[in-house]
Every structure is written in C-alpha cells, then in structure tokens.
Structure 1
Amino acid sequence: MAFLFILLISLLGVSVSSSSSHEEAIPISITSARRNLLNNGLGRTPQMGSGNLVPNATIFPSGMKTLADYVHSKGLKIGIYADAGTLTCDKRMPGSLGYEEHDANTFASWVRMGQENPATWAASIGNSWRTTGDIKDTWKSMTSRADENDVWASYAGPGGWNDPDMLEVGNGGMSTEEYRSHFSIWALAKAPLIIGCDIRSMDSDTFQLLSNKEVIAVNQDKLGVQGKKVNKNGDLEVWAGPLSGKRVAVVLWNRGESNATITADWKDIGLKPSTVVDARDLWKHSTTASIQDQLKAGVDAHACKMYILTPHN
C-alpha cells in the first residue's frame, strides 16, 4: 500500500522539536497514518571532527533515539529528510554535498542521490521516489505536479510509489474545493499522502478532507495500480484506475473557470460497454445503482467528483 505520512516540515521551521513532535505524533491516527518525516532537524558540527550529521541540541535536546523511541511506541515509523545540495530546501540546515558517504553511514542505509528520472530506476533500491519539483500551496503548482506525476504512472506499483510531493491541504493558499481535488488526485495516483499542514491548528474543513476514509481506501487499495488521466476535453478531465475486486476508481475533474458537465465513458476507464455498475460518490457518501455505458455529473469550477464503480457481475 502507498504511504500515509505527517510531515513535520519547515512550516514550523526550527521550532520543530522533540516535544512538539510528541504532540503531533498522537493525532496522526485521524487517517491511520503509519510514518512521520522530520525536516530540518539535523546539523553538522565541525568540532565533532568526523563531519557527521548530529541532532541540533536546541531542537532535539533528548536526541534522535529518544524521539524515535517515542514515535515507535505509538505504532508509527520515522524518517529523516536529506538533500543532495549544500543546504536543505529552506536553506536553514546543511545538505549532503561533500558529505555523502558520511551521511549515508549516519543514516545506516543505502542511498542514491539523483534526479535522472528516478521512476525508471528507483524501484530497485527504495519504495518511493519524487517525480516532481517541490510543490507550492497554489492551484497552478498543484495541477502541474499532478500532470508531471501522471507521466510516470506505469512505473508505480506495489512496493514502489511515485511521489508528487506532500499535500498542501489546509495551508490556506487554495479553496476547499481545490484542496478536495488535490487530495482526490493524490489518492487516486497512489501517491504518499504526506500531510503538510500544521495539524494542531487545522480547521474542520481540512480535517474532513484529510480523514475521508473512503478516499484513503482508494489510495491504500491492495491492487496498488496508480490511477491516471484517461480523457481530456479542454479543462475537463477524467482520471481513473483499477481497484481490487474488479472495481474502478474515477475522478471527474473540472480544471476550468466555470461549471461544466463531465462524462466518463466505459471504454476510457476500462469497463466493457455492457457493464452495469453501482456508483459510490466518495465525497457525498451516497450510492447510485445500476449505471450503464457512462458516468456523467456536473462539476463546479476547480472542483472534482470522485467515485468507485462496482460492477454487478
């Protein structure tokens, strides 16, 4: 299954600490996540001689082992972010340039740094790889990352997932409907669902989006096939992918500036023309029985509708 994460990222800057990490690890259960990522909590101290990364004593006074033990005690896992350059992305902490071997030994793992189309080779050494540049909390950035990630759909599968970067849901730069589209497409694409907002202050709309169990179930489906864009008519798009039990997940996505009707034909989403299905609306939590040949719905601007289609036969 694809990853579920909370990302303790530069949103909190250097204020991320062992104590705040403890506080944030607990609410992760809202989406049954199982991993945390730590960003920007390691420094390189010349006086250590070896040049190895060490925990920032101010940010993590108890050390990384204490923090890791705490997170593990909650049934979660923890990871550490590294960067191939001289600094991390927010230019606050050192990157690994010139210290690659030191850092690989510190992390006690086999590491390969590179940007040469990692989807084509990374499955042999890891179970997730970035397919895009860093996302920003804007409609333009989110949609472009969705498109860039879609190019590599055929390389993803059980044990190896394309990562179009973290979720911006709840950070305030997009509307609720735009965030709904963001979460729906990431879930359909089996992308790691890395929560990138401050979960201590998320509003009710954000909580409802991120805790939708039916949408998360699409992301975690055991078949593990990445959904992709299957039809495009201007700004109106159909994204779809197979699920276990011969079901199909479908997202009708309106990237335009006005309301429109979007139609998904069976031939585009992998169903035979005669197939009769029940359509489950994953956001309204309602079911329409016995649909045949196509799925059609009105969709607001910058919004989407997401379904699971279950064949009768």
Structure 2
Amino acid sequence: MKKIIWTILLGITFLGASAQKFDQLAKTPPMGWNSWNKFACNVSEKLIMQMADEMVSSGMQDAGYEYVVIDDCWQVDRDENGEIVVDKDRFPHGMKYVADYVHSKGLKFGIYSCAGSKTCAGRPGGRGHEFQDARTYASYGVDYLKYDWCNTTTQEAKSSYTTMRDGLFAAKRPIVFSLCEWGTAKPWEWAKEVGHLWRTTGDIVDRWDSMIDILDKEKDLAKYSGPGGWNDPDMLEVGNGGMTTEEYRTHFSLWCMLAAPLMAGNDLGNMSPETAEILKNAEVIALDQDVLGKQGFCYRDNGDYEIWIKKLANNEKAACLLNRSDEEKTVQVDYNVLLKANDNYWASEPYKLENYKLRDLWEHKEVSLEKSTVFVKMPPHSVKVYRFLKK
C-alpha cells in the first residue's frame, strides 16, 4: 500500500514539475523579424536564410533584434506516425538546417503553428499533437513558437494553450511561447502562467486606422504586462508601404511605449533609409527594452490629442505626445506635468524637474528646461517622444 501511495505521489510531483512554462525567458519584450506581414505564404529556406543574413548586415541584430521567425506555410502534411512534414520544395534541407544556419549568425530561430486542427492557411495544425510537435520543434532547435487560433471550433483557449505549454516544457528546450489568440478570451487575465506574450487584438493591417484602433484597445491592459509576460498588439508594419514615414514613426514609438514585442515584418534586404532609421532608433528601443518592464498608460485623452507616459527604471520616465488628427496641431507642453504624471497602479514619487535632463528621442538632442512650459508644433499623425533622464 505504501509503495502504491509513493508511486502516486511521484506521479503528482512529476506532473506538477512539468506543468509550467520556462520562466527565465522574455524578461524584456522579444525583438525579431517575422515573415508574414511582407511575404505571407511565400516562405522558403532561401528567404529565411537571406533574412538572417540581412538581420546581421543591416545592423538590426546590433539594435537588439534576435529572433528570425517563419510564420505559416512551412508545413504540408503529417506522416503515418503523425509527425509534421516540412514542405520539401521550399525547404529542401529540412528545418533543422535552417535553424542551424540562423544560429550560426548569432540569432535565434522561431516557427509557427496553430492550436486548431489546421493553421490559418489550411496547413496541419497542432491539435492532438502538442507533445509530439513540441519534441519535434525542440529537435529542430526552435527558440520561439508563435501559436495561432484558427480552426479551433469548440476548443477552450486557456486549456488548449496550456496543453501546448506543457508539451514545450516536457520537451526540455527553453522556447519563448507566443499565444496568438487575438484577445477573444481575454488572455491577459490568465496567459502569464502559460506563455511569454499574448495577442490582445485581431491582426494589424498596414494602415493608420488599423494601427490606431489597436492602440485604443491597449489602454486598460497595462497592469497585466511585465517581465516574462507581455501584451502583444501584433507585429510591426514599418516599411511595408501602407503608411507614411511619419505614421510609421508614430507606430514604432507607440509600440515601444506599450512595452510591446518588436517583431519587424518588412523586407530587411530592401529597407529605405527612413525605415532603417525608425527600426534601429536605439533611444526609442531603449524605452521598449527598459528592465522595469512597465507598459505605458494614456495619461491624457483629448480626443485627437493624447499624452502617453511610461515609467522607467531609475525613477526615469518617457512621455509620448500623439497627434491623432489629420491636421497640424500646436500643443502646450508642461514638462513638470509630464514628469509627475501618474496612474492608478504606481505610487506617487517626488519628481523634481531640476534633477533631470530631457531628451528628444527622434531629434536625438537635449531639450532645454529653462522654460517648463512650451508650445510644440506637431504634424498630422505624428508623435513627440521625450525621456526624462536622471542627472
């Protein structure tokens, strides 16, 4: 009898140990590149390896981008043992070969699947094969898994994603787990115990209205985000042609204020100087990657003009002024107000303007604080991003 009880206890202990995520990953929002926004199903071994090369040669790697992620359409079937089958026409050397190449560049490798029976592009999904697929991905050398939510019918989101989480943990390779559930089941309320980032909305489209609509949906979610678990407003569209340079600068700034994962989605081998400047702005990226891990909040909403504040480590702060309107605006800016702005989640602190320097993060210059109140001209759909740096 004692032996039976001991066996049961061992089983419970084992299940408890395996039913968890890898908790030392994504301490800051993941940064990388994903194939979908630009190339959709037109993925191949040649393309992914080329993008890994471009990640290095373009300076994106030096700027902090490290994951090269293949989205949908790399898989075509399952074999007689249920193993996922790679498209041999597009990936003739197999997926481990591609992963090894990405790793040889000092980068990390990501892959895509779906919690349903089929992926969004109709390829074989992961339902019923979670532990098997997790072992396969580990054998490839995968570092990041994006897991979609198409063709899920009556599935319950939390349990479906939890099963995949347990499969990944059992496979014993640390893999960042990206839940792409589109926010329908409010993953911000439960996903921190399951994955490392979770989509909060439907897919982004390369248009101003789509991007700004997603921003609006993030306003009440700041308290759910932090090191090891991030709200994900979807991938970046910077450089794909549907917005102006000004709008892309705004898009990138807002994602950094949100402490969002920064997954570029453009053709890295064909970047304009303006696109490269936006994606590699080290001062703005530093807001996103700040170790405190606080998502910014909307401090003031005047309809077509907003002020977003992000608390940073070392009692520093970032402020983003947003002109949402279609017309140029001249706005009054009180630096004292920006520095002392607070929200419901953080205790007030005695910020004093004389203890700080102020940086304009797009003009890359220090701003005089001789006058605490100034007037600033803002083009349509533009931002001004400031950082209060401790002296």
TM-score of the superposition, structure 2-length normalised? 0.73
Cα distance in 2, alignment partners of residues 227 and 243 from structure 1:
9
Q: Deviations over 1:237-273 (max 9, x none)?
A: 0011111121101110000111113335244356757
Secondary structure of 1:33's partner? coil
Q: 1:122 is aligned with what amino acid?
A: A
1:13 positional shift? 3.7
- Provide the aligned length of Structure 1 versus Structure 2: 310
Cα distance in 1, alignment partners of residues 368 and 111 from structure 2:
46
Asked if 1:164 corresponds to 2:242, the answer is: no
> Larger Cα Rg: Structure 1 or Structure 2?
2
Q: 2:216 is aligned with what amino acid?
A: D
Shift in CA distance, 273/243, structure 1 to aligned 2, threshold 3 Å = closer
Secondary structure of 1:11's partner? helix
Q: Is the 8 A contact 1:42 1:53 kept in 2?
A: no
Cα distance in 2, alignment partners of residues 251 and 291 from structure 1:
20
Q: Is the 8 A contact 1:156 1:225 kept in 2?
A: yes
Which residue of structure 2 lines up, in the alignment, with residue 268 of structure 1?
341
Q: 1:83 is aligned with what amino acid?
A: C
Residue range with higher mean Cα deviation, 116-125 or 209-218: 116-125
Which residue of structure 2 lines up, in the alignment, with residue 257 of structure 1?
326
Asked if 1:4 corresponds to 2:4, the answer is: no
Q: 1:45 is aligned with what amino acid?
A: D
2:214 to 145, 149, 154: 145
Cα distance in 1, alignment partners of residues 69 and 41 from structure 2:
14
1:117 to 159, 171, 186: 186
Which residue of structure 2 lines up, in the alignment, with residue 63 of structure 1?
94
Question: Which stretches in structure 2 are left out of the alignment for 5+ residues?
Answer: 1-27, 139-144, 146-162, 166-178, 343-347
1:32 to 64, 67, 72: 64
1:34-113 paired onto structure 2 within 5 Å: 34-45=66-77, 48-89=79-120, 91=121, 93-97=123-127, 99-100=129-130, 102-107=132-137, 111=164
Asked if 1:281 corresponds to 2:360, the answer is: yes
Shift in CA distance, 221/17, structure 1 to aligned 2, threshold 3 Å = same
Q: Is the 8 A contact 1:231 1:268 kept in 2?
A: no
Q: Is the 8 A contact 2:48 2:68 kept in 1?
A: no
2:199 to 99, 114, 130: 130
- Give me the CA root mean square deviation: 2.4
1:11 positional shift? 2.5
1:189 positional shift? 0.9
Secondary structure of 1:147's partner? helix
Q: Deviations over 1:115-146 (max 9, x none)?
A: 42111111112211111111000111101111
Secondary structure of 2:195's partner? coil
Q: 1:80 is aligned with what amino acid?
A: I
1:213 positional shift? 0.9
Q: Is the 8 A contact 1:255 1:302 kept in 2?
A: yes
Shift in CA distance, 32/274, structure 1 to aligned 2, threshold 3 Å = closer
Residue range with higher mean Cα deviation, 297-306 or 268-277: 268-277
Q: Deviations over 1:177-230 (max 9, x none)?
A: 110000000011111110011111121111111111111111111111111211
- The ranges of structure 1 where at least 4 consecutive aligned residues each deviate by more than 6 angstroms after the TM superposition are none
1:186 to 246, 249, 255: 255
Secondary structure of 1:181's partner? helix
1:111 positional shift? 1.6
Secondary structure of 2:260's partner? coil
Cα distance in 1, alignment partners of residues 41 and 207 from structure 2:
24
Secondary structure of 2:269's partner? coil
Q: 2:32 is aligned with what amino acid?
A: F
1:301 to 380, 384, 389: 380
Q: Deviations over 1:134-178 (max 9, x none)?
A: 100011110111121232111111111111000001111111111
Cα distance in 1, alignment partners of residues 381 and 37 from structure 2:
28
Identical pairs, percent: 39
Which residue of structure 2 lines up, in the alignment, with residue 224 of structure 1?
293
Residue range with higher mean Cα deviation, 128-137 or 51-60: 51-60
Cα distance in 2, alignment partners of residues 74 and 41 from structure 1:
24
Secondary structure of 2:270's partner? coil
Cα distance in 2, alignment partners of residues 81 and 127 from structure 1:
15
Cα distance in 1, alignment partners of residues 285 and 351 from structure 2:
28
